[in-house]
């Protein structure tokens, strides 16, 4: 590798967010390989179906790297639709194939721990030689190591969820997507924020000790991860509170999703502790929201749920419509009757 490529590799490690790292990597590889296009995909589980989520893509002649992530799973292709890509994941090896004369597609696995978490797709004119593939794999290892360092700062150490510090930056990116969608065609299926609180968690710590309390937190987080789509974002907000950002869901769909989580946790047998329940308040996310105002609305609904029996979910918008909550200044300040 020449000095230009080495400097480009060094430049990728200056980024402190995943989107920036992915964009830098695809641009670096486009220049290094003289390829027609380069893209990075993440593998997302959608109820047992693996879908391809495009993180970043750049093509020859396009000066700007695009972040083309879509959280609408219904728009994402299934991995099984592309046999060569599915083979790459299954064998965990590079796959090269020629879809038409003069065009070569190369797909390389991006590994996380012991499994393939993503794919690197390269559209070029000739097959990649073994030495070039070795260089690409070295770049992917740098990518993996740098993302692991980012995870250390972005993830909660106990649950592995995103931590509160990353919420604001993540929310801002979501709000930008909402504004673009709203300006283009309006939101057919809105996005939602749910605030989860474990009922009587202090009693669990007092009666069983903090070790069992931590185990409850860990198990609740695992149940949450199994209950939502790979594109939905889960945060541990602190203590026994969690935040769920659920993209693209109807009013009926979000109610079903959140109540399914409540039922799943209520039915689970926690070691030593037994049954545990949660209360959940949620609100729609609007393009004009700030990270705090949306949480405040969800928190008002959660507060209502806590004081009306616990082990239930409440919608801020429905409570306002029913006259149970009063909204002031666009719903940012809420008072309980």
Among candidate residues 117, 118, 139, the one with its CA nearest the CA of residue 128: 139
> Is 332 an annotated catalytic residue?
no
Rounded-to-integer distance, Cα 33 and Cα 133, Å: 10
Rounded-to-integer distance, Cα 288 and Cα 306, Å: 28
Structure tokens at 241: 């509170």
Q: Which of 57, 154, 215, 240 is catalytic?
A: 240
Structure tokens at 96: 């090269």
Structure tokens at 45: 């589980």
Q: How many CB atoms neighbour CB 75 within 10 A? A: 9
DSSP state of 79: G
Rounded-to-integer distance, Cα 107 and Cα 84, Å: 8
Contact by Cβ (8 Å): 210, 223? no
Task: Output helix, strand, coil percentages for the chain, rounded to the nearest 5.
Answer: 45, 30, 25
Let me know if 36 is exposed, middle or buried by CB neighbors in 10 A (0-12, 13-18, 19+).
Answer: middle
- Give, in order, the Cα–Cα distances in Å from 92 to each of 86, 107, 116, 325: 10, 10, 7, 54
Rounded-to-integer distance, Cα 110 and Cα 144, Å: 8
- Give, in order, the Cα–Cα distances in Å from 214 to each of 202, 204, 218, 325: 12, 10, 6, 34
Give catalytic residues, as residue numbers. 240
């Amino acid at each position: 590798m020449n000095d230009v490529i080495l400097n480009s590799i060094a430049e990728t490690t200056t980024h402190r967010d995943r989107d920036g790292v992915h964009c830098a990597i695809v641009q670096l590889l486009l220049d290094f390989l003289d390829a027609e296009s380069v893209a990075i995909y993440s593998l997302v589980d959608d109820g047992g179906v693996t879908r391809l989520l495009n993180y970043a893509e750049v093509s020859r002649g396009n000066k700007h790297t695009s972040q083309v992530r879509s959280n609408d799973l219904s728009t994402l292709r299934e991995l099984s639709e592309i046999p060569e890509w599915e083979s790459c994941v299954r064998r965990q090896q590079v796959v090269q194939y020629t879809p038409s004369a003069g065009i070569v597609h190369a797909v390389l696995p991006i590994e996380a721990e012991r499994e393939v978490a993503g794919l690197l797709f390269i559209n070029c004119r000739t097959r990649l030689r073994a030495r070039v593939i070795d260089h690409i794999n070295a770049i992917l290892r740098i990518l993996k190591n740098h993302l692991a360092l980012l995870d250390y700062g972005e993830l909660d150490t106990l649950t592995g969820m995103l931590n509160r510090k990353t919420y604001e930056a993540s929310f801002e990116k979501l709000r930008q997507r909402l504004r673009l969608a709203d300006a283009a065609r309006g939101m057919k299926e809105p996005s939602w924020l749910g605030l989860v609180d474990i009922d009587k968690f202090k009693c669990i710590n007092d009666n069983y000790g903090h070790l069992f309390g931590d185990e409850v937190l860990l198990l609740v987080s695992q149940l949450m991860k199994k209950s939502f789509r790979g594109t939905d974002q889960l945060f541990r907000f602190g203590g026994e509170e969690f935040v769920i950002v659920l993209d693209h869901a109807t009013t009926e769909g979000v109610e079903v999703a959140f109540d399914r989580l409540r039922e799943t946790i209520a039915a689970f047998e926690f070691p030593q502790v037994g049954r545990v329940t949660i209360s959940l308040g949620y609100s729609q996310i609007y393009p004009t929201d700030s990270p705090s105002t949306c949480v405040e609305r969800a928190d008002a609904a959660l507060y209502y749920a806590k004081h009306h029996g616990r082990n239930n979910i409440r919608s801020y918008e429905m409570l306002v419509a029913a006259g149970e909550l009063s909204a002031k200044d666009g719903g940012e300040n809420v008072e309980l009757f």
